[in-house]
Amino acid sequence: MKTFNIAIIGCGTVGGGVAQILNEINLSLTEKAGRNIRLKKIIELNPSVAIERFGLDKDLFCGGGKNLTREETNKYIDEVLNDNDIDLVVETVGGISDFVYYLCVNICRSGKNLVTANKALLAERGKEIFEAAESKNVSVGFEAAVCGAIPIIKTIKESFTGDEIISVSGILNGTSNYILSRMFDDSLTFEDALKLAQEAGYAEADPTLDISGGDAAHKIIILMKLVFGIDVTMEEINYQGIQNITSTDMEYAKEIGARFKLICFSKKEGDNVFGGVCPMMVKNENLLSGVNGATNAVRTINRYSGKHVLIGAGAGSSETASSIVADIIFIARYNDLMIKTLPSKKIIFKGLNHFSFPYVISFETKDRPGITGLVTTEIGKQDVNIYTVTHNRHVQDKAMFSIETQPCTLSQIENAIVEIKKRDVLLGDPKIYPILY
């Protein structure tokens, strides 16, 4: 049986987990791959922690388990890239620095397959990496970059090849989903729910990337590339976070039979692909509304086979490591038969502000007679049909209410708000949230 040799660069929480799996169930993995799976080399600046935590042999590490300098690390990386016996390199260094970018490009240019969980790198600088892989007819495995252990990448690339995906949407950030779930179920403020997420280990000390929608934007960019063959940059995509959602917003969601979720959404209509990330009120009849806690979910709507929902753990060291190992085994067995790239398509990317959603618009106004009528009239003048209006909440001298519209574009709503502001009745900018059925 031919041997398939692997090197790991970066042996922290995820890289160490990969090494542990490759060692502990090696016989099973070899049977699945049809090739002798062998972890040949590991490069890590400070290997002692990984050796103890994951039970790894120090002889696997370049330098024999000793701490490495940057110069020594670069020397060992060159040795790996020039080692003709190594078939695949796992990058678990992380980040989007020039060092990591050129590392991934050079792995592919050296004729070696690459597996990475680096969603930010693939979303922001992935085009050249995939081009380098294509030029050498090697594969890039990135299942772990989107939704951890959920096999959405392989499902799209392999299981749905006999169908056409019309739209893909989902809950792709577990931290935000945990916070919103606690806010909704336990009537917590955003600040209190965030604190609980940090105490539970779901949120970092600096949670900005998760709660701002940036992490989710990286993931939907990767999925749009995979599903629709379109390259979108972080500068082009609109993404919003959950920082400004309040308990009052949660009450409005409950009134219309919905739950708040940070939703990644993309849909193809003709030659246009719409995409973005923002908080949405997801109707209870949509399965995504019932996905709570730190769980992730992805929903596709296909032309022939209809709706599909994949649900599971979207993060975690062991979950991410298992997805990386799955890529390794898949490439070892099927690399020569794999579809490396999607054909280029002439399509136009548009933000979600151009897509027609039903919306909930919540207002804080001066408490005067006829305010609701004034607001609804201006909205109607923009050819927006109103589905329902909630009852007014009166607090001292202000009124609060929300309006649920029929599908329309965000620009129609914004035009109406411009006119409403001229009437000097608003006490603040209205909040606008799409509704997802």
How far is the first Cα of the chain from the last one, in angstroms, to the nearest whole number? 52
Select from 3.40.50.740, 2.40.128.120, 3.40.50.720, 3.40.50.1370 the CATH code of 3-152+320-337: 3.40.50.720
As annotated, the residues of the chain forming the CATH 3.40.50.720 domain(s) are 3-152+320-337
pLDDT at 240: 97
Supply 181's token pair: 């779930």
pLDDT at 342: 55
pLDDT at 158: 87
pLDDT at 244: 96
Q: Is 340 considered catalytic here?
A: no
As annotated, the residues of the chain forming the CATH 3.30.70.260 domain(s) are 356-436
* Closest by CA position to 327, among listed 141, 193, 170: 141
Q: How far apart are CA 435 and CA 249, in angstroms?
A: 13
- Which residue in this structure is represented by tokens 């400070």? 46
Supply 180's token pair: 């919103």
* Residue 88, beta-bridge partner list: 6, 113
Class of 160-312+347-352 in CATH: alpha beta
Q: Which of 41, 119, 219, 268 is catalytic?
A: 219
pLDDT at 340: 55
Q: DSSP alpha helices (H): ranges in 34-118? A: 48-54, 70-82, 98-109
pLDDT below 50 — which residues of the chain? Answer: none
DSSP state of 258: E
As annotated, the residues of the chain forming the CATH 3.30.360.10 domain(s) are 160-312+347-352
Q: How far apart are CA 80 and CA 78, in angstroms?
A: 5
Let me know if domain 356-436 sits in CATH 3.30.870.10: no
pLDDT at 315: 72
| pTM given for the model | 0.92
pLDDT at 133: 95
pLDDT at 425: 93
